[in-house]
Structure 1
């Protein structure tokens, strides 16, 4: 099995001790951090903005992946691209011009991702595949941490993988999965073709330490 990159979502971390929460995950061997920005319009919730991302950047040198769950992300891209993150992902459903969005991201020397909501067919990003570095498949309804994994998600991941393979690209995009990932679902998404896995409440929770939770997820893939 190829190396699987595990990215904690900080949504369920303790924001009162954010730097410590990040350090705990880093010490546990995670591969980066996933930062969900929500505007209360594209999704119901509101989370955080540039200042929080800058604080996370100061707390870790691991790769940061900003997931913009916002309407018309083009208007906000310059602010988020200035924070020193490695990757910015926008939703195909939110962009009037997704080609310009991913072009702006790449011109800022960031990796560009395109995200798909659960109700969006993988075919919606077929023409974008040559221009993005990663495709993010949402496996829960967007906007709420801790939602249950959607059972039909592995089939959508496999379909996306087939589209990527059929495109025969020199540098094909990787697949990332976000939503409901825990020890009971991580194997299914990886076996379906995911290379990057976002986990929130299965890493940051009151039941076990971050180190134990990361180890449980890794063991589920062993």
Structure 2
């Protein structure tokens, strides 16, 4: 059985205390870092300097989600800065295969993200070059949005491709993941779960991570 992975999103943490936030979720699997440029999405967050500082401050693997224009140019630098997984959007990329290969050459896993309205099937062949598929379960740009269950067929489709041996990758979901929604995402076939406010708004973020992992584990197909 696949073991679920929890990736708390620091978008919901106190930006003045990111190292402390990372320490509070030391039992997580990845630390999710949302990079937004105010162009691809209407929000501005953090960039390379913060990723470098986080890499020095925590042993958690950094899961960088680039919601930016021109990821072909910028994505490899996040791998060089210490990210363990660098994900960019197919909607913004000009040459996703070359960018994935550059990320891998720089020492990180390569991830491809799709927005809720983007179909999966046209990119199944491209995904052979990737280690992670990130299915957005909200519109990218802001935390705290409501989970969109209507995108779960894409998760199921990706899991079918993995089970058949056509793909080998993590299937990650991001957006609105909490105790009420994680089981549906897990049952559909996701194995990496990004959770922001469900973790960092809890009295004990570490315990929240464990509780989410337990819920996902119960719901995952045998």
* TM-score normalised by structure 1 residue count: 0.92
The 1-side partners of 2:31 and 2:197 are apart by 13
The 1-side partners of 2:115 and 2:76 are apart by 24
Counterpart in 1 of 2:91? 93
1:71-96 deviation line (CA, Å, top 9, x unaligned): 11112124322211111111111101
Counterpart in 2 of 1:195? 191
Counterpart in 2 of 1:114? 112
Which residue of 186, 204, 208 maps to 1:209?
204
Counterpart in 2 of 1:183? 179
Moved more, 108-117 or 124-133: 124-133
The 2-side partners of 1:122 and 1:164 are apart by 14
Instruction: Check conservation: 2:8, 2:195, Cα contact below 8 A.
Output: yes
- 3-state SS in 1 of match to 2:124: helix
Moved more, 113-122 or 76-85: 76-85
Which residue of 58, 75, 83 maps to 1:77?
75
Match runs of 1:118-129 below 5 Å: 118-129=116-127
Instruction: Check conservation: 1:39, 1:69, Cα contact below 8 A.
Output: yes
Following TM superposition, the consecutive aligned residue runs of length 4 or more in structure 1 with deviations greater than 3 angstroms are: 163-166
Counterpart in 2 of 1:172? 168
Instruction: Check conservation: 2:4, 2:213, Cα contact below 8 A.
Output: no
Instruction: Check conservation: 1:154, 1:189, Cα contact below 8 A.
Output: yes
RMSD between aligned residues: 1.5
Are positions 1:20 and 2:15 aligned together? no
Match runs of 1:134-173 below 5 Å: 134-166=132-164, 168-169=165-166, 172-173=168-169
1:27-76 deviation line (CA, Å, top 9, x unaligned): xx211101110011111101001111112111111211111111111121
Identify if the C-alpha distance between structure 1 residues 210 and 111 changes in structure 2 by more than 3 Å, giving closer, same or farther. Answer: same
- 3-state SS in 2 of match to 1:129: helix
Instruction: Check conservation: 1:129, 1:164, Cα contact below 8 A.
Output: no
For structure 1, which runs of at least 5 residues remain unmatched after alignment? Answer: none
The 1-side partners of 2:204 and 2:101 are apart by 40
Say how many residue pairs are matched.
217
1:169-217 deviation line (CA, Å, top 9, x unaligned): 4x61121111100001111111111111111111011x52213322331
The 1-side partners of 2:180 and 2:204 are apart by 18
